[in-house]
């Protein structure tokens, strides 16, 4: 009975068929030259690990050892990818498939700003796209406003002093894109407006000489009015007393600073001195006409 055991085992071993390994490569596509990578995939059969040699445009690359299936090859090199050979623990396998990577030149985004330092009084400027080959644009002005998709937009910033980062993403017909940015400064700016005439006739219109101002160091303000002989007829160093209001409480009513008498119709000269918010000094003389 025992004499039949070994021949039976021998017959069983020889009847086992080992599957041949295989490698099939696929994937690829278009890749913008400023993008990351694109994946090639090699689908494998057989017993891991596999030894794989693949080629780009017929040039063999370094052999790799793979234990995962499929095996991923991230790449940013253009060309036709093929598998040259594959083998596993059992032996040499078969190869098939190909994958092509096409590298596309992405646009180089550029733009200019008409004015990169703006006053909060008029915080508007135009942006000019200088990107070659762009077909779509996405502007982010850094001020929480909506994205602008025009090519050369005009944008008005909020009257809030600060630095704004303006970002442009430009795309071409291949959906390749590039991003660039510039910083823009919205600056505070002083102003003072003093009329050249007033009519203290108490008709409710322009009865007092008053002013408007912004970004002035109030403690530095001095205002004088002279008659044509050079005598001071009005003086104040309180700018708030000169600010125009809706009730005509503020301003100069055309009376002499000391006597309180009404001054005659005619030409006068005012002198104004102040420092702006940055500390720059301003000193000016202007004619003033009093009309009754």
Give the list of residues 6+ apart from residue 63 with CB closer than 8 angstroms, or none: 51, 52, 53
Residues 90, 123, single domain; the answer is no
Residues 172, 99, single domain; the answer is no
User: Considering the domain boundaries, does residue 1 fall inside one?
Assistant: no
Residues 212, 271, single domain; the answer is yes
Q: What is the pLDDT of residue 160?
A: 85
Residues 217, 163, single domain; the answer is no
Q: What is the pLDDT of residue 120?
A: 86
Q: What is the pLDDT of residue 9?
A: 42
Maximum pairwise Cα distance, the chain: 148
Distance from C-alpha of 12 to C-alpha of 157, rounded to nearest angstrom: 85
Q: Taking the mean position of all CA atoms in its chain, how far away is CA 279?
A: 32
User: Considering the domain boundaries, does residue 286 fall inside one?
Assistant: yes
Q: What is the pLDDT of residue 10?
A: 41
User: Considering the domain boundaries, does residue 8 fall inside one?
Assistant: no
The overall average pLDDT reported for the chain is 92
Distance from C-alpha of 131 to C-alpha of 149, rounded to nearest angstrom: 14
Q: In whole angstroms, how large is the CA radius of gyration of the chain?
A: 41
Three-state DSSP at 95 gives strand
For residue 178, give both structure tokens. 């590039």
Residues 27, 95, single domain; the answer is yes
Residues 33, 50, single domain; the answer is yes
User: Considering the domain boundaries, does residue 9 fall inside one?
Assistant: no
Segment 215-221 shows an average pLDDT of 96
Query: Which is more confident, 119 or 235?
Result: 235
Q: What is the pLDDT of residue 104?
A: 98
Segment 21-40 shows an average pLDDT of 96
Distance from C-alpha of 236 to C-alpha of 273, rounded to nearest angstrom: 11
User: Considering the domain boundaries, does residue 166 fall inside one?
Assistant: yes
Strands 197-198 and 177-187: unpaired
The residue among 104, 127, 158 that closes a domain is: 104
User: Considering the domain boundaries, does residue 5 fall inside one?
Assistant: no
The residue among 81, 104, 127 that closes a domain is: 104
DSSP code for 47: S
pLDDT tens digit sequence for 135-151: 999 999 999 999 999 99
CATH number of the domain that residue 56 is part of: 2.60.40.10
Segment 94-121 shows an average pLDDT of 96
Residues 150, 209, single domain; the answer is no
Q: List the domain range (segments joined by +) for residue 39.
A: 17-104
Segment 12-30 shows an average pLDDT of 77
User: Considering the domain boundaries, does residue 239 fall inside one?
Assistant: yes
pLDDT tens digit sequence for 159-198: 788 999 999 999 999 999 999 999 999 998 899 999 999 9
Query: pLDDT exceeding 90 applies to what percent of the chain?
Result: 85
Residues 63, 116, single domain; the answer is no
Q: What is the pLDDT of residue 24?
A: 98
Q: What is the pLDDT of residue 18?
A: 62
Residues 284, 197, single domain; the answer is yes
Q: Taking the mean position of all CA atoms in its chain, how far away is CA 51?
A: 48
Distance from C-alpha of 144 to C-alpha of 54, rounded to nearest angstrom: 50
143-148's contacts with Cβ under 8 Å and 24+ in sequence apart are: none
Residues 86, 137, single domain; the answer is no
CATH number of the domain that residue 263 is part of: 2.60.40
| Total domain count, the chain | 3
Residues 56, 23, single domain; the answer is yes
Residues 88, 125, single domain; the answer is no
The residue among 41, 76, 104 that closes a domain is: 104
Segment 42-56 shows an average pLDDT of 97
Q: What is the pLDDT of residue 8?
A: 41
Q: Is the pLDDT of residue 2 over 90?
A: no
Give the list of residues 6+ apart from residue 258 with CB closer than 8 angstroms, or none: none
Three-state DSSP at 14 gives helix
Q: Is the pLDDT of residue 43 over 60?
A: yes
Q: What is the dihedral of CA 102, 103, 106, 108, to 10 degrees?
A: -160
Taking the model in full, what pTM does it have?
A: 0.69
Give the list of residues 6+ apart from residue 37 with CB closer than 8 angstroms, or none: 31, 74, 75, 76
End-to-end distance of the chain based on CA atoms, in angstroms? 144
Q: Is the pLDDT of residue 76 over 90?
A: yes
């Amino acid at each position: 009975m025992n004499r039949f055991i070994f021949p039976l085992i021998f017959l069983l071993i020889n009847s086992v068929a080992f599957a041949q390994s295989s490698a099939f490569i696929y994937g690829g596509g278009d890749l913008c030259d400023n993008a990351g990578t694109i994946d090639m995939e090699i689908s494998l059969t057989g017993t891991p690990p596999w030894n794989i040699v693949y080629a780009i445009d017929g040039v063999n690359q370094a052999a790799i050892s793979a234990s995962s299936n499929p095996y991923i090859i991230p790449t940013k090199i253009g060309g036709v990818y093929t598998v040259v050979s594959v083998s596993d623990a059992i032996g040499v396998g078969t190869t098939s498939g190909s994958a092509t990577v096409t590298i596309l030149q992405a646009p180089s985004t550029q733009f200019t700003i008409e004015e990169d330092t703006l006053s909060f009084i008029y915080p508007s400027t135009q942006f000019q796209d200088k990107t070659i080959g762009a077909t779509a644009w996405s502007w982010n002005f850094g001020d929480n406003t909506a994205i602008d998709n025009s090519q050369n937009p005009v944008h008005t910033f909020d009257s809030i002093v600060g630095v704004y980062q303006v970002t442009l993403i430009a795309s071409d017909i291949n959906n390749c894109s590039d991003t660039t940015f510039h910083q823009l400064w919205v600056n505070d700016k002083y102003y003072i407006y003093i009329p050249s005439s007033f009519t203290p006739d108490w008709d409710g219109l322009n009865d007092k000489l008053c002013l408007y101002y912004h970004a002035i160091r109030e403690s530095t303000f001095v205002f004088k009015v002279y008659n044509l002989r050079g005598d001071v007829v009005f003086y104040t160093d309180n700018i708030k007393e000169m600010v125009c209001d809706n009730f005509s409480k503020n301003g100069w009513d055309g009376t002499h600073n000391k006597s309180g008498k009404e001054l005659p119709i005619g030409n006068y000269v005012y002198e104004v001195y102040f420092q702006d918010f940055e500390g720059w000094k301003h000193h000016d003389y202007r004619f003033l006409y009093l009309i009754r």
